[in-house]
A and B are shown apart, each in its own frame.
Chain A
Amino acid sequence: MLLTLDLNDPRPLHEQVTGAIRRAVASGLVVPGQRLPPARELAAAIGVNANTVLRALRQLRDEGVLEFRRGRGVSVLASPDGGEVVRRMARELLEEAERYGHGPADVIEIIKELESS
């Protein structure tokens, strides 16, 4: 499972990890039914405390994305709602653009440019 974290993200670490796993599931890198690597392994790879990863996993379980099963670890239950994911990503994009001095109108321009190219 490939996880990507933003180094400039001001959000707390556990939220960033939640976002990274959510994106991985939403983009189809891990599919429903598939087991996630152990939390300790994830934590070691990302370079955070295992509790941070566990907090992220619990958050995703509450969202209905993951499922905890005794003895079988954590597996993907369902892909997060597509529309919700896009909206969330758009929000992140706008925040990111803001940081570089681009307003929503500029972002729309950029998207249109991408579409026409």
Chain B
Amino acid sequence: MTYRSRFLLTAGAWAASVTAALVVVPLVLRARLPEPLATHWGPPGAPDGASSFWAALGLQMALWAVFAGLAAYTVLRGDAVRHRARRKAAAAMLAGGAGLALGTQWTTLGANLGRATWRDAGAVGGRVPLVLAGAVLLGVIGRLLASAGPGDPPEEGAARLPRLRLRADRRSVWVSAASNRWMSGLCLAALAGLAVLAVLGLVTGDGRIRDTAVPLVIVAVVGWALSTVGARVSEQGLVISFGPFQWPTRTIPLDKIQSARAEVRHPLEVGGWGIRGLPGASTIMIRGGECLVVRYTSGGELAVSVDDAARGAALLNALVSARPAVSP
């Protein structure tokens, strides 16, 4: 059996077992559960919200479906089995998502089990950090298991860095960008929501509206910043600009750059959209696909998702090698 079929078989069996557990366990315990079930707990630890058995089960399944769906998407669309980073992401989602879904179910059922009504349900405060820690731990274990398989397939010309031929009497610059319409839409929707809230707040004078406005402001700002990213390469180095007005910007001077290359990266591999990862290994992810990856002389790397990245990398490499050696 090839590694690929083993991986797919294991992942499929895992997903099926978790789904079965999520359905079968509550069905078996149903006779001992109140109807409706307590499904939400307030800050003091007492239940403050309830939903019917089937709604609670549906919510559990939806939570699990998000993780399983993301993992399936990575495996099927991103050919994750052949790429270690994607495979690790898919395995982490399958394992961590299962931990979260099963843990949430365990918490909910445990608090409701044997109670007459949902208001009598026990507190869950102590179990929440346990479930979260367990989910993270499972995710890490999934990642470790998936990293064991074969490495990435060799990419064409990976050993050779792209380089553009420069002429002394010519000046070459490269300008590119990437945008994400979903993020622009999100930003616009949040702004529209804020406008509605502002009108409502003026009309009703209800102070609680302010609490609703805060997350909307955050969504609007994040959507705005992530709707588009620009990159330009010239003798100044690499300049990355955020947002539709190309502000703020970040400049990486040539003497801090060792080399550059183009690479295909997906949001699922780097942990989502936005500025991801730690300094020294971060990705500015606006949309999946071609990324310009810059290696610092200090050893770290920065990737930014932009169109036409290969040409930008070639120009950066040419400029870096043409740069006169810095005297100490």
Contact = CB atoms under 8 A, between A and B. Distances in A.
Interface of A: 1-8, 29, 37-38, 40-42, 44-47
A11 to B, nearest CB: 14
Contacts of B312: 2
B173 A37 contact: no
Interface in B70-97: none
A3 B170 contact: no
B219 interface: no
A45 B174 CA distance: 7
Closest 9 CB pairs of A and B: A45-B232, A45-B173, A37-B175, A4-B172, A45-B175, A5-B171, A2-B174, A41-B230, A7-B169
A37 B175 CA distance: 7
Contacts of B232: 37, 41, 44-45
A4 B175 contact: no
B310 to A, nearest CB: 10
Nearest to B228: A38
Contacts of B175: 1, 3, 37, 41-42, 45
Interface string B139-171: 000000000000000000000000010000111
Given A1-B176, A1-B308, A2-B315, A38 B170 contact: no
A38 B170 CA distance: 23
28 contacts: A1-B174, A1-B175, A1-B176, A2-B173, A2-B174, A2-B308, A2-B311, A2-B312, A3-B173, A3-B174, A4-B172, A5-B171, A5-B173, A29-B311, A37-B230, A37-B232, A38-B230, A41-B175, A41-B230, A41-B246, A42-B175, A44-B232, A44-B239, A45-B173, A45-B233, A45-B239, A46-B173, A46-B234
A5 B234 CA distance: 12
B171 A4 contact: yes
Contacts, number: 62
A42 B174 CA distance: 9
Given A1-B308, A2-B311, A47-B234, A41 B172 contact: no
A47 B171 CA distance: 11
Contacts of B177: 37-38, 41
Interface of B: 164, 169-177, 230, 232-234, 239, 241, 246, 308, 311-312, 315
Contacts of A5: 170-173
Nearest to B171: A5
B171 A7 contact: yes
A47 to B, nearest CB: 7
Nearest to A42: B175
A27 B57 CA distance: 59
A5 B171 CA distance: 5
Which of A37, A42, A47 is packed against the most chain B CB atoms within 10 Å?
Answer: A37
B170 A4 contact: yes
Contacts of A42: 175
A46 B173 CA distance: 6
A6 B169 contact: yes
Contacts of B233: 45
A7 B168 CA distance: 9
Contacts of A46: 173, 234
Nearest to A1: B175
Contact of A8 (B169, B246, B311): B169
